[in-house]
Amino acid sequence: AAATRAPPPPSPPLQPRMSMPPPPPADADAPPTRAPEVEAQPSVSDVWPVPRPPNAGAAGSGYEILFQGFNWESHKHNWYETLASQVAELAAVGITAVWLPPMTDSVSPQGYLPRDLYELNSEYGSVQQLKDLIKLMKQHKILAIADIVINHRCASFQGPDGKW
C-alpha cells in the first residue's frame, strides 16, 4: 500500500502592509500639485543575461525561446535592417530563435498572398538585407525561422474584373 503524506502545515497569516500617513489637508488657495512625470525607457540590457542552451542543430534543443520578429505593420518600414539592429539585444536576453515574416514577393504587403516563392525581394527588404540579417543572427547563435506561406497562392496580375 502506498504511504500517505500528512497535509502541509497551514501558511502563516498575512501581515498587514505598512501604510503611508494621509496627506495633510490641501490649502484651498494653493495650485494642485502633481509628481513629475518620468518616461520609463527600459532596455533589454536591464535584464540579466540568460544562459543559452547547447546547440542541437537545425531541429533545436527543445529549449528555444522564440521571438515573433514581425507584426502586421512591419512591412511599412525597412524591416530587415530594423530587426538586424536589434539582434545583439535579442541574444543578450536569451532569445534563441526569431520567426521571420513571409519573405517572398506577394500581392499583399504582409506576404500572405505570395506570387513568386523564389522572389525574395519583399516589402520587408531586399534579398541582400535578408541574407545579412540571417548571417548576423547566426553570429549571435539565433535560429532564423521562416514563415513560408505555401497554402496561399496568388496570380501575378489582375484580370479586367479586378480579380487576381
Alpha carbons 163 and 131: distance in angstroms, whole number: 33
Top pLDDT among 58 and 108 is at: 108
The average pLDDT across 11-22 equals 61
Burial letters 14-34, b for 16+ CB under 10 A, else e: eeeeeeeeeeeeeeeeeeeee
pLDDT at residue 138 is higher than 80: yes
What is the rounded average pLDDT of the residues 22-41?
Answer: 65
> Looking at residue 38, what is its pLDDT?
62
At 140, the pLDDT band (50, 70, 90 cuts) reads very high
- When comparing pLDDT for 40 and 83, which is higher? 83
Q: Which pLDDT value is given to residue 31?
A: 66
Architecture in CATH of 62-146: 2-Layer Sandwich (3.30)
Q: What is the arithmetic mean of pLDDT over 1-14? A: 66
| pLDDT score, position 136 | 97
> CA gyration radius for the chain?
26
Whole-angstrom distance, CA of residue 69 vs CA of residue 147: 10
Between CA 64 and CA 52, with CA 124 as vertex, the angle to 5 degrees is 15
Q: Which residues pair with 6 in a beta bridge?
A: none
Q: What is the pLDDT of residues 76-133, one digit of tens each?
A: 888 999 999 999 999 999 899 999 988 888 887 887 777 887 888 888 899 999 999 9
pLDDT value, residue 126: 93
**In terms of DSSP H, where are the helices of 2-155?**
79-84, 87-92, 127-139
Please check whether residue 154 is in contact with residue 136, taking contact to mean a CB–CB distance below 8 angstroms: no
Average pLDDT, the chain: 77
Q: Strand pairing of 97-100 and 66-68?
A: parallel
Question: Nearest CA to 77 among 122, 110, 123, 119?
Answer: 123
